[in-house]
Structure 1
């Protein structure tokens, strides 16, 4: 279990005004459209896991979540598959400061069902109910804003349909508000969205794709991606993992306590290292270019399945409304960080991106920021675009490449007839601080690529 959350003195010295609720309502079965309230920047907590960090219990997760809230982030994405992530996030949201200043209705919680481990999936109605009940308990809440079927490519369409139907029953019972699916292969996401619409007569609310709109792979923006999903009635399509699960970093893929889990090949990694060297020669880090490019470009490219939810301002205690940044839909992105420095850098990048949107010039002046912030943002956008094109030239054949998911020969080891009570699953126990193994070198990964964690986004 996670340790008792520790609050920072800077967050407890004064109590700002209680934050306003996100305007959700449900009347006669008609819910507020997700595309009108989902914030365009979502904090992903896959980093609160042993895949990305040697010991997630050692991370200042309470400080990260609190700081994210104070900088305007109003949505958090997690999953039972992310080890202790739900526990750590739930404890961070349960501190007296957060509960007093950020009531439950002022932010959104997104989680998932179905994926248990690397080779175990259970999409049965029984497991969906048990998983949601467990998530509610871990996250200290009586409802979940959005629940995805996790990594749908690993199961059959019939299993996905069963899980979606059960999630809709839980939605009608008030346990959750919106239902989505997520996964990696673009074609599978399109197939599943179309199947759900065809079989139920009602579209899925949200489809989250990861690592498919990055410097390395932009198929989510094409006709097989967001256009196909929009045609299937999908309201919102968030883009997760703008760094390709940490692939697009100077130090290479993240190596946590579980070793090198990243599915990319040696050849793809070598191409990214060349691209990173190219960025170095121009005084930039590839992860900074990758992050800004994906966030800034997806705001417009993903707008057709975006949201008018209020964006994070990126500044402490400064509220920003959608009207302040032009009033149009913005493509939704999911970012993840492991430490305060990464969060600060990400918020600075996001603030600059927001400054460059329509009305940014006037907004900056009204807020007392530099009157040339809009101009600087637009010039920075041009520089990032130029380097992004250079990176894509260097990637060559690896640009738009997608790895296999699942790998050939995958077998789901979960037995459908397993009956397990909530809290007594046959899962491997989480590694605790005392039990966390010492991170050992992974063959073929140079030492200098293992020194920093960087911004591993998933």
Structure 2
């Protein structure tokens, strides 16, 4: 699918959709067997998706992804895709973070071994809000830029949740004359939270080359089924999302597939149509552990380009438009709500 690919001079040629492989760990339901991981990665690469994201923190995600890429090497050589992984976070608690230069260097090499590669396209300091800014800008990032000089890493950046924290690190790097290549924000660009949009121009001003918006479904919250038990959203937001799921269920019971050209309507699809229509980020990162989820994400992206919901807010079908308006109204009170990160018990 050519519509998923975007080429920018001087940047990595990244597809507009990326495959998030954190779901390979089992954090979002049962972990897929290796054969399923291989099929999912093959489906992603064959669809035009060319960036895969993982982390040592995501259980055995790097191992499963690496084995899949190795198995597919004859079909998809290393030059045909880009690997993004992370360093610094190795567990849930603050004590599980290690941003020392030695650990950063060791972690990059460990990831390369697991992923069967002699270089990594993108390496991000993982969840930078859990450590001091000094540890990020004075220790971890200098080591990553050193590894970039050595040719082991192509692009350097950060990931995290609180946008002000991430922006400040980007600004410090720009002030020092070493701007970050990549910034990955998760759960900040979706149906219930649009905070990232206000930060995109600020991140660009800070010299960030590539902005990745992860989790258009807000870590499984914006789905017809209930969110994972560990999800950090407050009860009021979870209750509002449940109301939205019930609206979709009633719509489906009342009108069925006839109203949608033979395909069902789901909360997840509406959420992806909305998030994917925001085109000022470079990559939308979507977790998927089945071929069907890949196919669904690609269709949702193509549909989003037609709808442009983020800008227009309009579905052509009046009944679906009414449903969408109800969902947006239900979630509007949470448009800029964010949960605490790090959590109090970390």
Q: Give the gaps of 5 or more residues in structure 2.
A: 1-5, 253-264, 309-313
The RMSD of aligned alpha carbons is 2.3
Mapped contact 1:392–1:399 kept (Cα < 8 A): no
> 2:80 matched to which residue of 1?
106
Q: CA separation of 1:381/1:140 partners in 2, compared to 1, >3 Å: closer, same or farther?
A: farther
- Judged with a 3 Å threshold, the aligned counterparts in structure 2 of structure 1 residues 87 and 197 are, in CA distance, closer, same or farther, namely same
CA distance in 1, matches of 2:334, 2:340: 14
1:250–1:276 contact (8 Å) kept in structure 2: yes
Question: 1:180 aligned to 149, 152, 157, which one?
Answer: 157
Deviation digits for residues 370-413 of structure 1, max 9, x if unmatched? Answer: xxxxxxxx955998776444323112433321100012364xxx
Q: Secondary structure at the match of 2:211?
A: coil
From 347, 360, 365, the counterpart of 2:298: 347
The aligned counterpart of 1:321 is none
Q: Equivalent residue of 2:210, what SS?
A: coil
Distance change (3 Å), C-alpha of 1:159 and 1:387:
farther
1:52, CA displacement in angstroms?
1.3
* More displaced stretch, 394-403 vs 51-60: 51-60
**Alpha-carbon contact 1:240-1:334 (below 8 Å) kept:** yes
| Greater helix proportion | 2
- Residues 152, 381 of structure 1: alpha-carbon distance in 2 compared, 3 angstrom cutoff: farther
Contact 1:250/1:285 (CA < 8 Å) preserved in 2?
yes
Contact persistence 2:16–2:49 (CA under 8 A): no
Post-superposition CA distance 1:400-453 (Å, at most 9, x none):
21100012364xxxxxxxxxxxxxxxxxxxxxxxxxxxxxxxxxxxxxxxxxxx
What's the TM-score once normalised by structure 2's chain length? 0.86
Report the equivalent of 2:267.
286
Higher CA-based Rg: 1
CA contact (8 A) 2:222 2:267 kept: yes
| Partner in structure 1 of residue 258 of structure 2 | none
CA separation in 2, counterparts of 1:250 and 1:145?
35
How far does residue 37 in structure 1 lie from its aligned partner after superposition? Answer: 1.5
**SS of the counterpart of 1:179?**
strand
| CA deviation string 1:167-187 (max 9, x = no partner) | 000000010100010100111
Rounded Cα–Cα distance in structure 2 between residues aligned with 1:182 and 1:380: 36
Q: TM-score, normalised by structure 1?
A: 0.66
**SS of equivalent to 1:193:** helix
CA contact (8 A) 1:289 1:384 kept: no
C-alpha deviation, 1:127, in angstroms: 0.4
| SS in structure 2 at match of 1:94 | helix
User: How many Å apart are 1:355 and its aligned residue?
Assistant: 5.9
Aligned length: 321
Counterpart of 1:85? 61
| Whole-angstrom CA distance in 2 between matches of 1:404 and 1:239 | 19
* Aligned 8 A contact 1:39 1:75 in 2: yes
Secondary structure of the residue aligned to 1:70 is: helix
136, 140, 146: which is aligned to 1:169? 146
Q: How does 1:29-428 map to 2 (within 5 A)?
A: 33-34=10-11, 37-57=13-33, 60-95=36-71, 98-119=72-93, 120-161=96-137, 162-198=139-175, 200-222=176-198, 225-254=199-228, 260-283=229-252, 284-296=265-277, 298-299=278-279, 301-302=280-281, 306=282, 332-354=283-305, 387-408=323-344, 410=346
8 Å CA contact retained: 2:34, 2:64 = no
